Amino acid sequence: MQRFTFAGRTCVITGAASGIGAALALNLAKRRAVLDLVDKDGAGLDRVAGMARELGAGDVCAYPVDLSDGGDRRDLAAEIASRHGGADLLINNAGVTLTGTFEQNSSADIDWLLEINLHAVVRLTKAFLPQLLARPGSHVINMSSLFGLIAPPGQVAYATSKYAVRGFTEALRHELAPRGVGVTVVHPGGIRTNIAANARVSGLDPDGEQAAQARRFAEAALTMPPEEAARQIVAAIQARRPRLVITPAAKAGDWLARLTPTRYWAISERFARRRNLT
């Protein structure tokens, strides 16, 4: 499969108002891509779209869409096809997280997370698939996570969604490879985004000190700038890589889970305790 080129190609990015999505939009704008940006944050979308235009994007459209509403997204796909002729690149980047144990998580909160992290990925891919199949050399990027490689306590809902995205993406890649569509699953870990700050909180007062402490702990692990993550993702798209693991923490987690699939979390906890004592 030939390398992916971005100039003049139509790129759909979800979660584009901040974090990795915004960084991807600006990276691709410099490459003269045509951008269709999707996020529920309309003001943030407008800000990123304006910056992308200044950087030289071929054309930029912003679509304020709440991916938690259960829509099948065929209307969005039709609008983009009408405006830009169809998608060459679909980046399913939007995601949310939920704190608390499975016992503490409400069914409503779990459904909310799965709708955004998993069902929206499936529905968007389904809606855009006819366009991707009709555009030679098209590509799909689905964002899994470090927690699509390992599954820590307190992350049952999130890990469920990200393991599912991983399986969906790998099976989809095997189906679409003979038809000339590239598919990549991305496993980031520790990217400096707003996902921890915007997490829903279960079992704690969302405005209380315990919830704030949980958010601070999560944010402390987010060290890599989203611009660096975007650079690596763009390189993976260009090279048609089937899988990308970002950050040393994610690579270490991947290696440990392969080495000892049933004991990796106990080993990780021992390592963390020793590091805190030094």
**Tokens 């279960």 appear where?**
202
List the end-to-end C-alpha distance of the chain, in Å, as a whole number.
49
**Tokens 């405006």 appear where?**
83
Are residues 10 and 89 in contact, defined by beta-carbon separation less than 8 angstroms? Answer: yes
| Residue 132, CB-side half-sphere exposure with 13 Å CA sphere | 25
The Cα 149–Cα 268 span in angstroms is: 13
**Residue 130: exposed, middle, or buried by beta-carbon count in 10 A (0-12, 13-18, 19+)?**
middle
Are residues 161 and 176 in contact, defined by beta-carbon separation less than 8 angstroms? Answer: no
Catalytically annotated residue among 63, 158, 163, 264: 158
Instruction: Please provide residue 174's backbone torsions phi and psi, each rounded to the nearest 5 degrees.
Output: -65, -35
Is 63 annotated in the active site?
no
**Tokens 């991305």 appear where?**
186
Active site residues: 158
